[in-house]
Structure 1
């Protein structure tokens, strides 16, 4: 009888601990995969046209919840290009995640944004002395990074691009936009990813084929609504795929195509399968 009572007491105690939130942390907190990689290399998140602080936040939160990174800073680029920063990086190997937010996100000028991006990287480099950085970009955020690399890819005073996730990259043309050649969105691609019909946008970026950081690793993610448009509703598949040519032949390149409603241009960055692919690529 005593043993039975002790057993009941043990069950009751365990139940109360769970209800009171006192379950051991190792049981409540999801652990990172055993093969997860941790470092001081920061990952910068760049939203697209019309984006805001919430655009890339769900992905940052998902990475944090998976214990694969730590949300450390939010950098607001104010209308006069001054930087307002909240949070701080640390010296720990915690895969720091930095949300870069352009308050004037409808300026449509990636070259201007790239100048500001250099100022951000210089500022972070001066403070924390990291040698490499990662980027996760959506839509026009990819154009901002492309312009940054055109101007700064071989600058020895700046940290180098380590891993780059391109989501819905507009590399040759976009639906409803003026990219210099309306037929570019229908352009067949060569095996190298080079379009047979090039927009002025692509011609401008083409120099990256020889200057893109050769040690970088690239994951190109794009969507297909499967509705006959061969696009995510905004970016044609072949435009997104032409990013392959804009990376140096020596760079590591892979691409993933996602299908259906969850692959729509704006939804793609919040697609759970995309989030998992990004986490594996960056940290596992």
Structure 2
């Protein structure tokens, strides 16, 4: 009886070790498809957005092993930036959720200024030299206006990659033509500088 019990325990242990090795190798395979760096990715919500607006995107990136949330950057109505969380320079692909207190501000020039304040705060506190961005809806217009206004300033961290979700780059029907004009101007500038949009 003792021999059978020892055999069963040994088999369970072998299966457990094999399963653990399989999971470890699978995790290594899954994470091998990502490029890791210390360049932060900013998640910028749209009109009326909150921290919850980009929460699922951030969680999905963490679950996939592609990135790690480090900070929340809250921008007050007067443009002050309050960073919360923990920045670990040894972690890969840090994510920063940007939240505007005045989340119903429709002036994308103001949004661009606020985005600049976030980037400068990250530069001053953590020494970032470049950044990526994921922007949704109105956040795209703020980011586009930021790039057009401050993108050529080499003293600021430079945008490396951006993902646009539901960007209304041709403006909002009946509201303005300035957005469409800005989009065309930005495309011309990008073409002149050899940047592909």
Same fold, TM exceeding 0.5? Answer: yes
Q: Which has the higher helix share?
A: 2
2-structure distance, mates of 1:107, 1:132 = 26
Distance 1:151 1:81, change over 3 A: same
**Kept in 1: contact 2:67–2:94 (CA 8 A):** yes
TM-score (norm 1): 0.61
Distance 1:3 1:34, change over 3 A: farther
C-alpha deviation, 1:35, in angstroms: 3.0
1-structure distance, mates of 2:90, 2:192 = 32
- Quote the RMSD (CA, aligned, Å): 2.7
Q: How does 1:111-126 map to 2 (within 5 A)?
A: 111-126=109-124
Q: Secondary structure at the match of 2:109?
A: helix
2-structure distance, mates of 1:140, 1:90 = 30
Deviation track 1:7-58 (CA, whole Å, cap 9, x = no partner) reads: 222456689x8xxxxx959838945432321001000000100100000010
2-structure distance, mates of 1:117, 1:35 = 30
**Kept in 2: contact 1:76–1:103 (CA 8 A):** yes
**Kept in 1: contact 2:80–2:117 (CA 8 A):** no
1-structure distance, mates of 2:96, 2:27 = 22
Unaligned runs of 5+ in 2: none
**Kept in 2: contact 1:179–1:201 (CA 8 A):** no
Number of the residue aligned with 1:90:
88
The number of residues matched between the two structures is 194
**Could you tell me which of 155, 175, 185 is aligned with 1:207?**
185
Number of the residue aligned with 2:175:
179
Distance 1:161 1:26, change over 3 A: farther
Q: Does 1:251 align with 2:195?
A: yes
Q: How does 1:111-260 map to 2 (within 5 A)?
A: 111-174=109-172, 177-180=173-176, 199-212=177-190, 250-253=194-197
**Kept in 1: contact 2:41–2:133 (CA 8 A):** yes
TM-score (norm 2): 0.85
